[in-house]
Amino acid sequence: MARYRRIAAYSFFLGSVSFLFALVGCEPKTIEKTSVASPAKTADQSTPKDTEPVIDTSIDIDGLLAARISKEDLDFGWIRLFDGQSMMGWQPSSKANWRIEDGAIVVDSGEKGFLFTTCRFGDFELQLDFLADKATNSGVFLRCPLKPTAPSKDCYELNIAPPENAFPTGSLVDRVKADSESIGELDTNEWHTLHVLVDSEHIQTWVDGRDSADYQDKAKLPAGLIGLQFREGKVSFRNIRIRPITYAVLPAKSLADWKASESDTFKSELDDEGALMMTSGPGHMELMQTLGDFCAQVRVKTLAKNVNSGVFLRCIPGEAMNGYECQIHHGYNQDRRLPADAGMGAIFRRQVARAVLSDEDETTHLTIVADGPHFSTWVEGIQVVDWIDTREGNENPRKGLRLAAGTLQLQAHDPACKVRFETLGISPIQ
């Protein structure tokens, strides 16, 4: 890992031919307006060929497009954990009345507990806005197990609590008290911003841009879930964003860490900016390190019409694309909620993207989390897949669940493929 440049954390003010089909099990990918599977369709379901696709009208596609993150923040690696209209990517731990109101996640009654992310994160930067009643006691839990026992032992709790609390807003409960003088009095009728940097053993927090806590843990906690807490009093959350801290694989100065597939036509090279250019498939480039649970962030641009590419995860080392495939394809049928050939960010043949949020002529930012049997993807900062592989275990992920570490491969699907991988960053989940 040392030979890769680690992308450093930054402070709070700085705002991813027919024989090939037989070889890799893929199908031709088109953007022609033909019938496709519903975005909810998985590999174990089937749709009759004469069934017309049905648009999922519960998805506000204009809202998702508007929620896409700015290019500047995408380049830094930011993604949304909450899209403003759905609970995709979240799971409750108790019977509390978690709900969405006016683009915010709200809770005010029911059993004490959490709303957790469905996947874990290791090192990251997190920002969110909160609105809390005067007597509210809540918090944001970091690197948290599904059933935490104490914030002093198996997680970090970034507190939301009144000034008289032993650990007022901005504190890390049972670890360090926030600097109340620095933060000042918080108006309970106004939204406020929490910001936290969790980088290895070092945790820093801010409230409304002001320093609140700085803590160095003697024993780094493992990767974990992010949890919104309901304890007492009404609390609302919005603008929940995370930036995984990655080390950079691309751009690169050489392809010494990569192996190209054998092909008479496939070409791959680094351009003047260190980006990986791939043309004239079928073929692939294999990163010669094994990855198990991790987050990958890719910035990619397709350079021809109707390009078909992909990022393959947990591949059997040395074998051609025997891995989970995260789809790179911008096509859709009449409506962005009807992806063609699974859609950008889909786990191909496993879970269709709920909408196509990328455009063919633009650089696309793709984030992929592989966490045990759980796979989540974001396109332009918006989550499009949240899928659990429930199949029986198998060395080959084309045939069953693969939990073992494997290589990462970038695909050029066919002779017309022309694609430029500008950046690739990896954040281990461990």
Q: For Cα atoms 241, 244, 246, give the angle at the middle one, nearest 5 degrees.
A: 155
**Pairwise CA distance, residues 302 & 331, whole Å:** 12
pTM: 0.89
CB 126 within 8 A of CB 156: no
What order do you get walking across the sheet with 283-291 strand by strand? Answer: 258-260, 283-291, 406-412, 309-315, 324-328
pLDDT, position 344: 98
Whole-number pLDDT of residue 84: 97
Q: Which fold has domain 16-69+247-428?
A: Jelly Rolls (2.60.120)
Q: What token pair was written down for 229? A: 């807490």
Which regions of the chain carry the CATH code 2.60.120.560? 16-69+247-428, 79-244
Distance (Å, whole) CA 359 – CA 361:
6
Six token digits for residue 391: 């199949």
Six token digits for residue 397: 């992920």
C-alpha to C-alpha distances, 205 to 167, 176, 427, nearest whole angstrom = 13, 11, 21
- Half-sphere CA count of 52, side-chain side, radius 13 A: 3
pLDDT cut 90: percent of the chain above it: 85
What is the pLDDT, as a whole number, of residue 50? Answer: 52
Per-position pLDDT tens, the chain of length 430: 444 444 444 433 344 333 333 333 444 333 332 222 333 333 333 344 456 678 999 999 999 999 999 999 999 999 999 999 999 999 999 999 999 999 999 999 999 999 999 999 999 999 999 999 999 999 999 999 999 999 999 999 999 999 999 999 999 999 999 988 889 889 999 999 999 999 999 999 999 999 999 999 998 899 999 999 999 999 999 999 999 999 999 999 999 999 999 999 999 999 999 999 999 999 999 999 999 999 999 999 999 999 999 999 999 999 999 999 999 999 999 999 999 999 999 999 999 999 999 999 999 999 999 999 999 999 999 999 999 999 999 999 999 999 999 999 999 999 999 999 999 999 999 9
Give residue for tokens 């641009």. 301
* CATH architecture, domain 79-244: Sandwich (2.60)
CA 276, CA 221: separation in Å to the nearest integer? 35
Confidence (pLDDT) at 12: 37
